[in-house]
Amino acid sequence: MNGISSNLKDEIKKSQDTKKKEKFKFIGAILATNLMVAVICMPSSETIIAKEEHHKIFHPNFQLMVLPLQALVSNTVESDPETAVSLLSRDKKLIAEKAYLHEEIKGTGDITQFKIEISNADVAKIGLALESGVIAVPYVENKKTKSIKRGSKYEVSL
């Protein structure tokens, strides 16, 4: 009729062959994409370990000193950028209301030394208290409450 002589069996065979080719292409595409994703997600032979640097905050009007003291604070002093402490003498007298503990220095013997920032006004007190010993406790901010007066400034007379 139109120059092509084919019968029904040939048409069915061609459609089955094309179905097989399409299935093969589909499976090949899935395998290829999964393989590419696996290659992308694989770690490289050179793994870079990022070391976090903890930057300490330095305050104006404070001096950085190395002092032997007993610290009654948590062990996360090294990782925190700022650790506020109050310094007390062995007889529980307040030496410095607020100081900043930076890091522990490994010393010789039983004495533990710390890098600590102390207010310029409290440096003289530290020198006197070092003989008896110094204790660092966590700083607690004192919040003073203001008294609220109730009532009115105006008087109403009826």
Number of compact structural domains in the chain = 2
Strand pairing category for 70-71 and 113-119: unpaired
| Parent domain of 97 | 62-138
90 and 125 fall within a common domain: yes
What would the pLDDT profile of 97-144 be if each residue is shown by its tens digit?
888 888 888 766 667 788 888 888 888 888 777 778 888 888 888 776
- Asked whether residue 96 falls in the same domain as residue 31, the answer is no
83-89: strand order across its sheet: 62-68, 113-119, 94-105, 83-89, 134-138, 70-71
Tokens 């700083």 — which residue?
Answer: 139
CA distances from 148 to 67, 145, 155 (A): 44, 9, 19
Q: Contact 116/99 with Cβ under 8 angstroms? A: yes
127 shares a domain with 69: yes
pLDDT digits (tens, 9 = 90+) for 10-23: 777 778 888 888 89
Question: What was the pLDDT predicted at 52?
Answer: 52
